[in-house]
């Protein structure tokens, strides 16, 4: 165990900088927060650079329950509560954060999977995090995101994944149209969600399929819809006209599960 007691410490200043995307990119690091997700990072063998714990949290029941045994094997840094408040993004923090080195993840699409999920300009961090968590729950190992999608290393995204972040490869596409064409060339059918069709998702065969969901306000971009093989709608019996994108993605992925595992 080490101790840091000054807010002028170089590591403290560094962690504060990592709240900004440009610094996360520059230093190839990001921050996670919360006892459970730090435990997940340890168990998934993430490249942990530092674990920082506040003085109030070190003996708390939550931290001891989630990290007790692991802390005996990990170097960690103890800081006063006043300094920890400078590091946290959470209103009621658990008192644990970790600095993680970004993996040099494989940026190649795995075409052996039956379903490929593609996100077109998702903007809300909570939505992206929930989608990653849902994808992990159905066994997906990769998600393709457009360049305009919110940064997957955003702290709100990572918290929302509840640890799934370390099990799902996020592949950023610099040109989503070219990526979709590449997927089609590998014998995948491309399906987009759309309100401009009468075809239901329950009319689709979700096998060897790329599913594209779109921006919260505008949906899937017209250029992508134009090259899709099929468009489908999620039927709704009430007066609501559309679903939150994370909810819609969950419905689509679990229709895939129903079709292929619970016929």
User: Do the beta carbons of residue 195 and residue 241 sit within 8 Å?
Assistant: yes
Give the total residue count for the chain.
263
Mean pLDDT value across the chain: 92
* pLDDT over threshold 70, residue 263: no
The pLDDT tens digits of the residues spanning 24-58 come to: 999 999 999 999 999 999 989 899 999 999 999 99
Q: Kindly give the interhelix angle for 245-261 and 125-137, rounded to the nearest 10 degrees.
A: 10
Q: Which CATH superfamily is domain 2-101 in?
A: Ribosomal protein L30/S12 (3.30.1330.30)
> What percentage of the chain exceeds 90 in pLDDT?
78
What is the distance between the alpha carbons of residues 109 and 183, in angstroms, rounded to a whole number? 9
Q: Give CA angle at 75 (102, 27), nearest 5°.
A: 25
| Helices and strands: H and E segment counts in the chain | 10, 11
Indicate the domain borders of the chain: 2-101, 115-261
- Please state whether beta strands 96-101 and 48-54 pair in parallel, antiparallel, or not at all (unpaired): antiparallel
* pLDDT over threshold 70, residue 96: yes
- Give the pLDDT confidence score for residue 105 in this predicted structure: 63
The answer, as to whether pTM is greater than 0.85, is: yes
Measuring CA to CA, how many Å separate 31 from each of 38, 64, 72? 10, 21, 21
- What b/e readout covers 190-224, taking b as 16+ CB neighbours within 10 angstroms? bbbbbeeeeeebeebebeebbbbbbbeeebbbeeb
The pLDDT tens digits of the residues spanning 170-190 come to: 999 999 999 999 999 999 999
CATH class (in words) of the domain with range 115-261: alpha beta
Least confident of 99-108, 130-139, 192-201: 99-108
């Amino acid at each position: 165990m080490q101790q840091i007691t000054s807010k002028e410490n170089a590591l403290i200043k560094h962690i504060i900088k990592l709240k900004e995307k440009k610094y996360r990119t520059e230093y190839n690091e990001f921050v996670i927060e919360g006892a459970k997700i730090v435990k997940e990072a340890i168990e998934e063998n993430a490249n942990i650079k530092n674990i920082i714990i506040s003085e109030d949290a070190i003996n708390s029941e939550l931290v001891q329950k989630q990290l007790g045994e692991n802390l005996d094997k990990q170097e960690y840094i103890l800081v006063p509560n006043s300094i920890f408040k400078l590091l946290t993004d959470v209103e009621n923090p658990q008192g644990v954060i970790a600095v993680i080195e970004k993996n040099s993840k494989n940026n190649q699409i795995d075409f052996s999977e039956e379903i490929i999920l593609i996100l077109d300009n998702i903007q809300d961090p909570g939505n992206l995090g929930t989608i990653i968590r849902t994808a992990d729950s159905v066994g997906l190992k990769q998600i393709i995101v457009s360049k305009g999608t919110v940064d997957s290393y955003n702290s709100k995204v990572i918290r929302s994944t509840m640890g799934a972040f370390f099990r799902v490869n996020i592949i950023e596409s610099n040109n989503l149209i070219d990526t979709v064409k590449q997927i089609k060339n590998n014998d995948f059918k491309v399906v987009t969600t759309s309100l401009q069709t009468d075809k239901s998702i329950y009319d689709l065969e979700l096998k060897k399929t790329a599913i594209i969901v779109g921006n919260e306000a505008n949906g899937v971009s017209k250029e992508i819809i134009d090259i899709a093989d099929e468009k489908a709608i999620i039927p709704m019996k009430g007066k609501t006209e559309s679903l939150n994108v994370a909810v819609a993605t969950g419905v689509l992925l679990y229709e895939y599960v129903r079709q292929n595992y619970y016929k």
